[in-house]
Amino acid sequence: NRLVTDDPDSLFYRTPRLVNHADDAWLRELTSLYRRTLPPGGRVLDLMSSHVSHLPEDVPLARVDGHGMNEEELRQNPAFSLGATHVQDLNREPSLSFAADAEYDAILCCCGVQYLQEAEQVFAECSRALVPRTGVLIVSLTNSFFFQKALYGWSERGMATRAKLVRDYMRAAGGFGSVEVEGGGTGIIAQLGSISGLGGDPFCAVVGRRDDSVS
């Protein structure tokens, strides 16, 4: 799990990076998945977030909390007017100390898993913070990311093996009754199109559903 660069994350993210990590078609697929999966009136944690959350406007939510590495980015995210924000480096402290047990109906992680040095521990924390039986963890990914901050070897993997790695993280974390891959981004055509520049960003999300146990 060595990083490409050993620069502290707090230094790298000190300046707000107000960019989207994927193209518009990819973002529409993510919003569509959220629309199908998030429970109306639910409590949501947007993990490793920034200035935008890509949530569907037609799904009412009771609360949206945000976590990230830059306070200014989180402040600009309108979704977090419904909740609280937390600035924390998960590579230094891989816990959700701000979250109570079974506090959230859904936890989202958009284009961030490739930076986690202790993903299994973080996902175990997500399992703890999700409501048993109905809680869901949605981890989305694509080919676009900060290469200098990604885990060693991530850029050499294809989308299918990245998705498998994230599935393995969730299964090792425990607490998830099912772990499924959504989207066509793991297919060879989508990946070749992205690499050649002729296609858009390949969409893939790994969806873990909390099992019935309390712990």
| DSSP of the chain | --BS--S-HHHHTSS-----SS-HHHHHHHHHHHHHHSPTT-EEEEET--S-----TTS--SEEEEEES-HHHHHH-GGGGGS-EEE--TTTS-S-TT--TT-BSEEEEES-GGG-TTHHHHHHHHHHHBPTTT-EEEEEE-S-S-TTTSBTTTTTS-HHHHHHHHHHHHHHH--EEEEEEESSTTSHHHHHHHHHTSS-PPPEEEEEEE-S---
* 2-25 tens-digit pLDDT: 333 344 555 555 564 556 677 899
Looking at residue 58, its pLDDT comes to 97
pLDDT tens for the chain, 215 residues: list them.
333 334 455 555 556 455 667 789 999 999 999 999 999 999 999 999 999 999 999 999 999 999 998 999 999 999 999 899 999 999 999 999 999 999 999 999 999 998 899 999 999 999 999 999 999 999 999 886 544 556 667 777 788 999 999 999 999 999 999 999 999 767 666 666 555 556 678 999 999 999 987 54
Say what the pLDDT of residue 2 is: 30
Q: How many CA atoms lie within 13 A of 166 on its CB side?
A: 31
pLDDT of residue 147: 46
pLDDT digits (tens, 9 = 90+) for 70-85: 999 999 999 999 899 9
